[in-house]
């Protein structure tokens, strides 16, 4: 049984054995909440559970695959607050993927802390480097662990029935018993080791994949190299280097060594390929950095966060450096910081005039310096909301320079007045401050002073006078040292597209509320798109959204707005769209806008179809075939089996916005079959995002969310594809997936003479 329970890649070291024996540690939630819990690594080496010392009740469990990293020492606000009580050598933090809160722990001794830190890191490395086959084995082990109630390493029929319900399978007892007896080779009345593997494989047999395999296989048992090439060309529309690709897939996904040596693919290998990244709906070549990064900054959509320091609501929520770490790790490139005067001459960050907690500005800057370029090399824009006195503004400037050093951009890239913004490539590893600035950028490059250009006519004279007045006002409220830190992102009030064009300063940026932006899109859609070809615009959520809800970023992207700030802490459709747009291009936080949004003379207006160029709409045809091992609805009553349906949503220009859904399948979350075809017309496919949502149908109330996956239309691969579903949080829920067939039909081009 041990072979099934423990991952073959894991060498049982002394450290892991100690973790399996268990350790008593303090779980910490605040300065006053510190409780003893007994932590134990399970026999599978992939699950950890902990129980209350007082009640002995198992409190919680988590899988190693849920853990992103382990931080040693006082690396969280809670542990920092206990620094005088507990030495850093005994403290560590377990950081989970998604929005799940961290786990702060204090071990009894330095040795125990080291044992868990090193052991967890070893296991995380194994979990992240597992290939497709090992992952499947791991799922089998996970299910076995969950269902083996009495932990005797074998499973009787009653335990199997419980397992089926846990797996979202509604199977009649006779059929379940037949599968059980077929797998029970030893006829012992229980399944152990390889018998359980057989049972799982029988359970997860995929008829729809089998019939597809047989369509291309002459003998029904294998695909020869040429048969696989035919499948890749005809169905998957792979065009270049198909033979090389076929060889690669056989090497990577064929489990049998003999078949690999003969360059053939078995049915098992074929299924492995279809479930792999190469068989995914997301074009694997677009996962890496694939776009031109040498265009001006305003030619990109930029992943942007609002009130980054908040991890809950806007009124009473907690402010935390964790908000910055999470956003930066997701590839966010524009962060917001609200600064106010703090005690002892130290500026603080919080949502002013509310009950949100406060953090020192110094800590935010240190966190930024440490995490800014872990997920992406491209520039970070720090949007500064400055409410500080002149004295503390001096401190802000000093802390930015001292802590960030060379990372902080304090001069133009070439020392000249910019005629256009520099590119992400030119600004690699730089942090740009966005804020108010005294006077114009050209004045600081010529040396400080009150010079205003010579003016001849009256109009310009009035304008110069206005400029002087504004400069004087800024000098009274803004510290010169802080003003000097602002180079390419000078905050200016928006006074209309014409005035912005007259001044033509690419280094200025306006921030607009979502309502103001909507009005501009409605009244002057094309002007807005043109404005965004040469200058940056930032959009932020309405002040009424005290619950940290979000607006749809799509309508702002449709107008070419680059910095569309969202509350990253709030899961939902809006953040799915944000993740869907930015999970391409190496997750670097920058996505190049389509050509018609980078041309200053563009006629494009998102609301006016007569301004769209192109031969006509693209047709997207999606056959929703089946679902695999869909998760249960969180907090569902008595673990009910779901009735799943699939909804496909198109988010794009108003004329492309659409959604269609399949019928629901009763009582089957394990392997539902829909076999339904949905079809959409896309007039501006370059801006379209496609969101696949699985819901649990409920005839009396709103359907419950089960899983989703969102991607830009440009990243879709045609053919037979799996869609690997994500939770509400945007984290993976393997092995949950949808199996679909995608066809993209381009409109006919202009007729040739």
Helices (H), 538-641: 554-558, 573-582
Closest alpha carbon to 643 in 675, 623, 672: 672
pLDDT at 570 over 70: yes
Binding-site residue positions: 307, 336, 338, 385, 434, 436, 511, 538, 641, 643, 667, 696-698
Residue 449 is predicted with a pLDDT of: 41
- From the candidates 74, 286, 351, 531, give the one annotated as an active-site residue: 351
Distance, in Å, from the CA atom of 244 to the CA atom of 297, rounded to the nearest integer, reads 38
Question: Which whole number is the average pLDDT over 680-706?
Answer: 95
Least confident of 260-269, 462-471, 680-689: 462-471
* Cα end-to-end distance, the chain, whole Å: 73
Closest alpha carbon to 547 in 312, 345, 344, 232: 312
- pLDDT higher at 439 or 423: 423
649: enclosing H helix or E strand? strand 644-651
Residue given tokens 């693209």 in the structure block = 618
196, 188 in Cβ contact below 8 A? no
Question: Which whole number is the average pLDDT over 222-232?
Answer: 96
Residue 455 is predicted with a pLDDT of: 45
Residue 143 is predicted with a pLDDT of: 79
Name the band, by pLDDT with cuts 50, 70 and 90, for residue 56.
low
How much is the CA Rg of the chain, to the nearest whole Å?
29
Residue 150 is predicted with a pLDDT of: 72
Q: Is 351 a catalytic residue?
A: yes
Q: Is 306 a catalytic residue?
A: yes
Question: Which whole number is the average pLDDT over 433-460?
Answer: 67
Cα angle 170, 174, 180 (rounded to 5 degrees) comes to 85
Binding-site residue positions for substrate: 434, 436, 511, 538
Name the band, by pLDDT with cuts 50, 70 and 90, for residue 274.
very high
Instruction: Dump pLDDT digits (tens) for 324-334.
Output: 999 999 999 99
Distance, in Å, from the CA atom of 245 to the CA atom of 489, rounded to the nearest integer, reads 46
Binding-site residue positions for Ca(2+): 307, 336, 338, 385, 641, 643, 667, 696-698
Strand-pairing partners, residue 649, are 659, 691
- From the candidates 74, 286, 299, 306, give the one annotated as an active-site residue: 306
Torsion of CA 591, 593, 594, 600, to 10 degrees: -160
Residue 52 is predicted with a pLDDT of: 81
Closest alpha carbon to 422 in 367, 379, 486, 371: 379
Instruction: Dump pLDDT digits (tens) for 580-636.
Output: 999 999 999 999 999 999 999 999 999 998 898 877 899 999 999 999 999 888 766
- pLDDT higher at 447 or 73: 73
Mean of per-residue pLDDT scores for the chain: 90
Residue 140 is predicted with a pLDDT of: 79
pLDDT at 469 over 90: no
Name the band, by pLDDT with cuts 50, 70 and 90, for residue 49.
confident
Instruction: Dump pLDDT digits (tens) for 353-386.
Output: 666 678 999 999 999 999 999 999 999 999 999 9
Label each residue of 429-444 as H, E or C: CCEEEEECCCCCHHHH
Strand-pairing partners, residue 95, are 69
HSE-CB of 605 using CA atoms within 13 angstroms? 14
Instruction: Dump pLDDT digits (tens) for 664-680.
Output: 999 999 899 999 999 99
């Amino acid at each position: 049984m041990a072979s099934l329970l423990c991952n073959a890649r894991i060498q049982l070291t002394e450290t892991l054995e100690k973790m399996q024996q268990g350790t008593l540690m303090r779980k910490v939630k605040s300065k006053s909440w510190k409780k003893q819990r007994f932590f134990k690594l399970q026999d599978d080496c992939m699950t950890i559970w902990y129980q209350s010392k007082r009640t002995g009740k198992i409190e919680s469990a988590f899988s190693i695959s849920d853990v992103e990293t382990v931080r040693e020492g006082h690396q969280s606000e809670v542990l920092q607050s206990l620094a005088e009580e507990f030495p850093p050598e005994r403290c560590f933090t377990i950081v989970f993927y998604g929005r799940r809160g961290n786990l702060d722990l204090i071990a009894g001794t330095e040795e125990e802390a080291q044992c868990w830190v090193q052991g967890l890191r070893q296991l995380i490395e194994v979990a992240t480097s597992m290939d497709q086959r090992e992952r499947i084995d791991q799922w089998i082990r996970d299910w076995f662990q969950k269902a083996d109630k009495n932990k005797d390493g074998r499973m009787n029929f009653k335990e199997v029935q419980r397992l089926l319900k846990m797996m979202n399978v509604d199977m009649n007892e006779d059929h379940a018993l037949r599968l059980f007896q077929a797998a029970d080779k030893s006829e012992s009345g229980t399944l152990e080791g390889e018998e359980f593997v057989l049972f799982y494989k029988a359970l997860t047999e995929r008829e729809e994949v089998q019939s597809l395999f047989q369509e291309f296989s002459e003998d029904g048992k294998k695909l020869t190299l040429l048969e696989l090439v035919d499948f890749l060309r005809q169905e998957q529309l792979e065009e270049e280097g198909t033979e090389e690709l076929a060889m690669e897939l056989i090497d990577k996904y064929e489990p049998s060594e003999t078949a690999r040596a003969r360059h053939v693919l078995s049915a098992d290998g074929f299924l492995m390929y279809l479930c792999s990244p190469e068989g995914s709906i997301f074009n694997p070549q677009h996962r890496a950095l694939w776009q031109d990064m040498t265009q001006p900054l305003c030619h990109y959509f930029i992943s942007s966060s609002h009130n980054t320091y908040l991890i809950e609501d806007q009124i009473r929520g907690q402010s935390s450096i964790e908000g910055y770490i999470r956003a930066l790790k997701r590839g966010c490139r524009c962060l917001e910081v609200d600064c106010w005067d703090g005690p002892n001459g130290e500026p603080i960050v919080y949502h002013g005039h509310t009950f949100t907690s406060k953090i020192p500005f110094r800590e935010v800057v240190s966190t930024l310096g440490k995490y800014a370029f872990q997920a992406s090399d491209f520039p970070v824009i720090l949007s500064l909301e400055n409410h500080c006195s002149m004295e503390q503004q001096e401190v802000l400037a000093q802390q930015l320079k001292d802590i960030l050093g060379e990372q902080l951009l304090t001069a133009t890239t070439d020392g000249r007045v910019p005629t256009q913004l520099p590119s992400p490539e030119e600004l690699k590893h730089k942090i740009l401050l966005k804020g108010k600035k005294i006077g114009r950028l050209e004045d600081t490059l010529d040396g400080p002073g009150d010079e205003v250009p010579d003016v001849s006519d009256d109009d310009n004279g009035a304008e110069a006078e206005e400029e002087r007045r504004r400069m004087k006002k800024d000098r009274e409220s803004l510290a010169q040292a802080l003003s000097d830190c602002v180079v390419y992102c000078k905050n200016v009030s928006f006074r209309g597209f014409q005035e912005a064009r007259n001044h033509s300063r690419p280094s200025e940026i306006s921030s607009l509320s979502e309502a103001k932006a909507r009005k501009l899109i409605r009244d002057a859609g094309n002007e807005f798109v043109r404005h965004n070809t040469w200058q940056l615009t930032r959009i932020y959520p309405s002040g009424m959204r005290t619950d940290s809800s979000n607006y749809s970023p799509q309508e702002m992207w449709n107008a070419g707005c680059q910095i569309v700030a969202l509350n990253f802490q709030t899961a939902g459709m809006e953040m799915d769209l944000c993740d869907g747009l930015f999970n391409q291009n190496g997750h670097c936080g920058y996505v190049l806008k389509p050509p018609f949004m980078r041309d200053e003379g563009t006629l494009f207006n998102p609301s006016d179809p007569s301004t769209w160029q192109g031969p006509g709409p693209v047709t997207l045809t999606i056959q929703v075939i089946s679902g695999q091992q869909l998760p249960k609805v969180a907090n569902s009553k008595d673990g009910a089996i779901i009735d799943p349906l699939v909804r496909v949503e198109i988010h794009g220009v108003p004329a492309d916005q659409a959604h269609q859904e399949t019928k629901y399948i009763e009582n089957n979350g394990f392997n539902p079959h829909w076999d339904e075809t949905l079809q959409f017309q896309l007039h501006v496919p370059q801006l379209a995002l496609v969101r696949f949502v699985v819901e649990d149908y409920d005839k009396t109330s709103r359907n419950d969310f089960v899983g989703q996956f969102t991607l830009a239309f440009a990243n879709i691969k045609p053919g037979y594809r799996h869609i690997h579903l994500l939770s509400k949080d945007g984290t993976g829920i393997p092995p949950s997936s949808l199996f679909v067939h995608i066809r993209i039909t381009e409109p006919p081009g202009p007729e040739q003479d």
